Amino acid sequence: MKYTRVPGVEDIYPDRIDLWNHIIETAKATAREYNFRQIITPIFEYTELFKRGIGDETDIVSKEMYTFEDRGGRNLTLRPEGTAAVVRAYCENGDYNRLSSCKLFYIGPMFRAERHQKGRYKQFNQFGIEFFGEDNPYYDFESISLMNTICKKLNICDYKILLNSIGCSKCRPEYINQLKKYYTNQKDKLCNDCQKRLDKNPLRLLDCKNENCIKLKNDAPKITNYICEDCKDHHETLKGYLDNSDVKYTEDAFLVRGLDYYCKTTFEFVTDKLGGQNAFSAGGRYNTLVENLGGSPTPAIGFAAGLERIYLMIESSMQKFKGIDAYIIHSGESTFEKAVEIANFLRKLGFSIDLEPGKKGFKSQFKKADREKSKYVIIIGEDELSKESCSVKDLESGKQELVSLNSLETFLNHIK
Ligand code: HAM
């Protein structure tokens, strides 16, 4: 019986791992530059946390969660996103929630039972940040700017930042009334899903991908005409910060998000390089979630980026597997002993080195060096051994030199 992976999940093989790790290291380093510190939360939580946090009527909670009962009869769910879990951890630990503000980031797998396609998986990885403690729009700017910096460092170019304000609990109800009125008059033109959404979650109508629903959206009321003075000020100040920086954005009055906790700022980094999945990072402000999940009232903002989607966007432009620094070729026995000694010495200095035991022909060892994409080959045969030296061959230029073992470190440092 041959086993295969479950549809909708991916293996990341060694030839992709350098680029994968490069994305993670870039995201981590950028988060540190903005003084965010890493948090690791468990992969599963009580189901209730996500229901209450994300919203019962959202697609994530109503259709996509991996929920199970454990052996102790607890109702648990594999996390579909990071925010609710980080908020839970923040509320649970007074060392953090007593601080006037708190900056956290996370990286890890998330799980959603979505129909899979390119860029959309049942298990995927997010890098996310969450800022707790202030409603100041400066922090909305910092969040967007942080993600933009990651894009620049990774040489991602073909993207747009969509920006909106979806108001707050004071001004949004009137907008939703207007939206309902507009759509109720044309209910029969909506797709089946949207006819149901009209009562339960009318904002989601603006996010539907059905052709007819998209046409109807164009004339729908815009939230920008309904937000209160406080939300308007917040939005204008944020735009001022963005205008004074190098972060370009596009306003999109119909940008709503698939999670219920947002208020005021919402944003998405979108591209047309990913086929159907155009958002590779998204987030917004969520000023009431901490209180909803049992904490004291704490404004907050954050975003999460999909690492698989970022990978897909940059894989063609980046070198995938860089290979090792050197492969050591020997003729067995005493030359093998010397080869191991050299390997240990060079590995301690930080070079990536490989070699094989046994008595294999030079030709087959050269082939292996090639397969490992080695930059150099270090040859240690009987002749070299007697001269306390080795031959070093640059596999790209084909140039070969005899180097004494004493000066190997200096030689390799020089060519690195
Ligand atoms: P989200 O929009 O649901 O927001 O997901 C954020 C990002 O995760 C998406 O833009 C996408 O890149 C990636 N993503 C989502 N689902 C999938 C999937 N099935 N396959 C591959 N990638 C996917 C959140 O999760 C919020 N927690 C973001 C946030 C943080 N808001 C405030 N703080």
CA 86 to chain centre: 16
* pLDDT exceeds cutoff 60 at 170: yes
Given a cut of 80, whether residue 415 has pLDDT beyond it is no
What number of residues does the chain have?
416
Largest CA distance in the chain: 93
Of 301, 263, 309, 308, nearest in space to 83 by CA: 301
- pLDDT of 317: 67
Provide the b/e sequence for 165-193 (b: ≥16 CB within 10 Å).
bbbbeebbeebbebbeebbeeeeeebbee
SS3 360: coil
* Statement: residue 148 has pLDDT above 60: yes
Sheet strands (E) in 271-415: 279-285, 300-306, 326-330, 353-354, 376-380, 389-394, 400-404
Residue having the nearest C-alpha atom to atom 25 of ligand 1: 81
Highest mean pLDDT (candidates 5-9, 185-189, 319-323): 5-9
CA 102 – ligand 1 centroid, Å = 21
Percent of the chain with pLDDT strictly greater than 90: 81
Residue 120 near ligand 1, beta carbon < 6 Å: yes
Q: Which residue has the higher pLDDT, 349 or 39?
A: 39
Mutate to test the pocket of ligand 1, among 41, 81, 83, 289 (most ligand atoms within 8 A of CB): 81
Q: Whose CA is nearest to atom 23 of ligand 1?
A: 306
pLDDT given at position 416: 61
- The residue among 104, 132, 112 whose CA lies nearest residue 40 is 104
Q: Is 53 in the pocket of ligand 1 (CB under 6 A)?
A: no
* Chain center to CA of 81: 11
Residues ≥6 apart with Cβ < 8 Å to 378? 326, 327, 328, 329, 339, 342, 390, 391, 392, 408
Whole-angstrom Cα distance, residue 87 to residue 53?
9
- Band of pLDDT at residue 321, cut at 50, 70 and 90: low
Identify the pLDDT of residue 208: 87
Beta-bridged to residue 268, according to DSSP, are 162, 282
Instruction: Ligand 1 pocket test: pick from 126, 129, 278, 286 the residue with the most ligand atoms within 8 Å of its Cβ.
Output: 126
> Rounded mean pLDDT of the chain?
93
What pLDDT score was predicted for residue 341?
94
Whether 90 contacts 302, CB under 8 Å: no
CA-based nearest residue to 306, from 112, 165, 163: 112
Cα 193 to ligand 1 centroid, rounded to whole Å:
21
pLDDT at res. 358: 84
- Would the pLDDT of 319 be above 80? no
Q: How far is the CA of 50 from the centre of ligand 1 (A)?
A: 14
pLDDT of 320 higher than 60: no
> Hey, whose CA ends up nearest to atom 6 of ligand 1?
304
> Kind and range of the H or E element at 105?
strand 102-111
Instruction: Name which residue sits closest to atom 16 of ligand 1, judged by CA.
Output: 120
- 265 within ligand 1 shell (Cβ under 6 A): no
Q: Inform me whether the pLDDT recorded for 318 exceeds 70.
A: no
Summarize pLDDT for 226-274 with one digit per residue, the tens: 999 999 999 999 999 999 998 999 999 999 988 999 999 999 999 998 8
Confidence of residue 123 (pLDDT cuts 50, 70, 90): very high
Model pLDDT, residue 29: 96
Distances (CA, A) of 321 to 13, 18, 306, 398: 10, 6, 21, 21
Question: Are 186 and 273 within 8 A, CB to CB?
Answer: no
Comparison of pLDDT for 103 and 358, the residue scoring more: 103
* pTM, full prediction: 0.87
